[in-house]
Amino acid sequence: MTVPVEISAWKPAPFALNGETVFAVGDVHGCAPQLQALLDTFATLPRDGKGKRRLVYLGDVIDRGPNNIAALKFWAEDEAARGVDRIDRLMGNHEQLLMLAITGGPYAAQAESHWLTDRAGGGKVLAEMRAAVGDDTAPLGQALLAAALGERIVACLNEMRSHATVGNTLLVHGGLDGQAEQDEFLARPWTSLTGARWAWITTGFLDWTGGFNGTLVVHGHTPPIKHFPLTGQEDPHLFLHDRLGLDGGSAITGIVTAAEIQDGRYRIFKAGTLN
C-alpha cells in the first residue's frame, strides 16, 4: 500500500542555513512505511541551487509503533542511499532509555523499567528483536541488539548525537530551556537520564516566548495533543517564537511529520493517513 505524503506550501521564516537544504524528520516511533514514504519523497525533489542537502533525524525512531526494526533499517541507511550529503542521527529520549538499559551504569535498571512500560512502548522493540533471533526469552542486552539489528544499526545507535547546528538553527529532540545557558544545557550527557533535558524538556521550552538568543530551534518529542496545552497553537507545526515542532504523533495518529528547511523558508511534509 502506498503511503500518501501531504506537502504544505512554503512558509517564510528567518532560517539562515548557509545555503544548505535540511530535511528534518520528527518522531517515527516504529512507523516504517511512513518514514519510507518521506525519504522517497525527498529523493524526488529537484535540487534548488548548488547547496548541500542534509538529512536530520530528530530522535524517537523506535517504540510504540508496529515496525521498529524496519524503521531502524531506513534510519541507518547512508548518505548515498538517500541522495544527501550528510545525515545527522540525533538521540531521542526513547533511544536514550534503550541505550542506558543495555550499557549499564547507575540508571540502567530505572531506564529499562521505564522503557518497558506500555506508555514508553519499548516492549514492542524487545518483542521484535526476540522474534528476529528466534528466542522469545532472550535477555535485553548488547548481544541481543547485535544479533537482531546487525552491525550497521548498532554502530549508528552508538554514534547518535544530542544535537546538530546549521547556521542559526539548532536541531534537537526535546528543545532548549529558555532560561539556561545553551552550551551547558546541550552538553549534559545522555548517561544522566532525565538530566539530559535536551531530550525530555516540554515546560520551560514550549511555553517560553522570549526566544533563544538568536537561535532557531527545530525539534520533535511533543505530539500535537501535548503541544497545544503548552503553546495554544492550533497548528503544532507552525514556526512561532523561534521554534518549529515536528512531532506528528506517529504511533497514535498514523502521521510522521518532517520539514524541508532552506534559507528564509520551510515547508511541512506529513506521511500517512489520520487514524
Task: Show me where the domains of the chain are located.
Answer: 5-92+160-271
| pLDDT tens-place values along the chain, 275 residues long | 689 999 999 999 999 999 999 999 999 999 999 999 999 999 999 887 678 999 999 999 999 999 999 999 999 999 999 999 999 999 999 999 999 999 988 999 999 999 999 999 999 999 999 999 999 999 999 999 999 999 999 999 999 999 999 999 999 999 999 999 999 999 999 999 999 999 999 999 999 999 999 999 999 999 999 998 999 999 999 999 999 999 999 989 999 999 999 999 999 999 998 77
| All cell numbers assigned to 157 | 545507535
Phi then psi dihedrals of residue 7, to 5 deg: -120, 125
CA distance 237 to 246: 6
| All cell numbers assigned to 184 | 551547558
Q: For residue 132, which of 145, 115, 121 has the smallest C-alpha distance?
A: 145
* Burial group, residue 132, by CB count within 10 angstroms (0-12, 13-18, 19+): middle
**CATH code for the part of the protein at 5-92+160-271:** 3.60.21.10
pLDDT for the residue 1: 64
